[in-house]
Amino acid sequence: MSHAVDFNTVSTVGVESSPVAAALAGLRAHEARYFRTRYAHTFVVEPASEARATIEWVHGILEAERKLAIASRPLEATAFQVEHLRIAYVFYESGLSVNVMYAVDDPKKRAVGFKLAEGMEVPAELASRFRFATQKSKLAGTIRGSFFVIKGEY
């Protein structure tokens, strides 16, 4: 069942099985607050079992662009469009969040982002291939993130 992410009262609903559930819920709330503030968009996630198309789209981009497969199990996902951006997020049991920001009208403004919830190790599949910068968040603590630019059409 889908639900809107509340960034005022952070809840672990949907990500309880993660060993870093509280931090992952904070990371998810951090993203929800950004989209509410920037685009007046309500961030609604659904269980992975109901978001197969979104997860397959994200995984297809990872495979095609970088021959990358995420080892962790997806827990939740969301996909939406704001202005000229098609956006998708997948939240994984390990505490990883993968997002795709895909400008529909500008091939130079397309990227995949990785964010690691506080307390999780960098996944082996990403460790040797990406450098992670840190940022502080009131909702998520310390977030580590990285990205790459998408070159293909999806």
Q: Please, are residues 102 and 154 in contact by the beta-carbon 8 Å criterion?
A: yes
Report field, pTM of the whole predicted structure over 0.85 = yes
Q: What is the mean pLDDT of the chain?
A: 96
Q: Which of 98, 86, 148, 154 is nearest to 123 (CA)?
A: 98
Q: Is the pLDDT of residue 88 over 90?
A: yes
What is the structure's pLDDT at 1? 86
Distance CA 105, CA 93 (A): 33
Average pLDDT over residues 82-89: 96
* Per-residue pLDDT tens digits for 101-149: 999 999 999 999 999 999 999 999 999 999 999 999 999 999 999 999 9
Determine the residue type at 70: I
